[in-house]
Amino acid sequence: MLLFDLSDIFSRIRLRGSTRLDFLHRMSTGDMRGLKPGEGKPTVLTTPIGRMVDYLMALACEDSVLLIGGGGNQDKVVRWLRKYIFFNDDVQVSDETGATRMFGIGAGDDRRLIEKISPDTSPLALPEYAHRTVESPLSSDGRVTVVRAPQALGLSFFLIGTGLDPASLIDQPPISPDFDAWRILQGYPRFPNEINEDYILLEAGLWGAVSFNKGCYTGQEIIARMESRGQIAKKLVWLTGSAETLSPGEELLAEGGEVVGKVTSATHGAALAYVRSTFAQENLRLQSRQGAIVHIARIVRI
């Protein structure tokens, strides 16, 4: 079993108010209007020129929306959202990151673990991004939100709660400390390495977080133009190969020495990098300036 403490890796921001979904629909790339309690969907906050402010998991609850975003980016996101609340909006934004804990679990087929967390509803039976808040002794307030994790992340589900103590799940639970290495091995981008205002979400491969059929949102014109014309300057790719660890910011060279990309995250045997679209081809061999040899295993598309 894998158990990651994600409390600082991801932020938790709550939207309340009667127009919260309309507001989020207007502010982000996903179609949020029909989201029902218990459902979730990815979306992205973008600047007027289409650059990424944050990549979010929006989880609709009965009286609120919980946004799971980049850890360390919550202050900026809260300010960004509040800046666009108009006089006729009934929306309140609050940061719950410091008041809650969040764990990611890869449970495999450990049914005992799943029954301890949620005896009435198996989180493994939920569709992707679906969530349930259940009565649980794991949290200091007696309630835990169980979220079916995105498949791209390689985990089974998330747990979010106040004073959450997963140590009571099983005897001596195996805490896996290096989530960053894990998500790089899965080819999953995160803030601030791959998700930041240097890049546009289509460059990051976040196609599943954008609706091309919805009305206007901040940055829509740029993103729609890129999609319709197929003009994407660079693409996020997942690299495998040399056992040598690359360094974030390290340049990548094609045969002949031309600089074609830059590493954003790396661990032993795998890395993520933005590469010029012309060179973003599976199995293409690239080399770092320090001599590490890597191959493009796939183009990231989530």
The domain spanning residue 49 has which CATH number? 3.30.1360.120
Closest residue by Cα to residue 77 from 44, 49, 104: 44
Which range marks the domain in which residue 207 is found? 181-299
Contact 47, 168 (CB under 8 A): no
279 shares its domain with 194: yes
294 shares its domain with 172: no
7 shares its domain with 147: yes
85 shares its domain with 125: yes
197 shares its domain with 158: no
**In angstroms, what is the C-alpha Rg of the chain?**
20
Local confidence pLDDT in tens for the 302 residues of the chain: 788 899 999 999 999 999 999 999 999 999 998 899 999 999 999 999 999 999 999 999 999 999 999 999 999 999 999 999 999 999 999 999 999 999 988 866 566 666 666 666 566 678 899 998 887 777 788 888 999 988 878 788 899 999 887 666 555 555 667 899 999 988 999 999 999 999 999 999 999 999 999 878 888 999 999 988 888 999 999 999 876 778 999 999 999 899 999 999 999 989 999 999 999 999 999 999 888 899 999 999 99
85 shares its domain with 216: no
Query: What pLDDT score does 166 carry?
Result: 67
Query: What pLDDT score does 141 carry?
Result: 85
Query: What pLDDT score does 167 carry?
Result: 65
193 shares its domain with 277: yes
Rounded to the nearest 10°, the torsion over CA 269, 260, 257, 253 is -10
Query: What pLDDT score does 300 carry?
Result: 96
Query: What pLDDT score does 119 carry?
Result: 60
Query: What pLDDT score does 184 carry?
Result: 93
90 shares its domain with 170: yes
Domain count, the chain: 2
Exposure on the CB side of residue 248, measured as CA atoms within 13 A? 10
Contact 28, 173 (CB under 8 A): no
1 shares its domain with 129: yes
* Last-in-domain residue among 163, 178, 193: 178
Closest residue by Cα to residue 126 from 92, 96, 94, 149: 149
The number of residues making up the chain comes to: 302
CA end-to-end span of the chain: 24
* Last-in-domain residue among 178, 193, 223: 178
Query: What pLDDT score does 6 carry?
Result: 94
Distances in Å between the alpha carbon of 224 and those of 202, 207, 212? 10, 12, 7
pTM: 0.93
Tokens 């973008």 label which residue?
46
* Last-in-domain residue among 178, 193, 208: 178
3 state SS for the chain: CEEEECCCCEEEEEEECCCHHHHHHHHECCCCCCCCCCCEEEEEEECCCCEEEEEEEEEECCCEEEEEEECCCHHHHHHHHHHCCCCCCCCEEEECCCCCEEEEEECCCCHHHHHHHCCCCCHHHCCCCCEEEEECCCCCCCEEEEEECCHHHCCCEEEEECCCCHHHCCCCCCECCCHHHHHHHHCCCCCCCCCCCCCECCCCCCHHHCCCCCCCCCCHHHHHHHHHHCCCCEEEEEEEECCCCCCCCCEEECCCCCEEEEEEEEECCEEEEEEEHHHCCCCCEEEECCCCEEEEEEECCC
142 shares its domain with 190: no
271 shares its domain with 147: no
The domain spanning residue 261 has which CATH number? 2.40.30.160
140 shares its domain with 171: yes
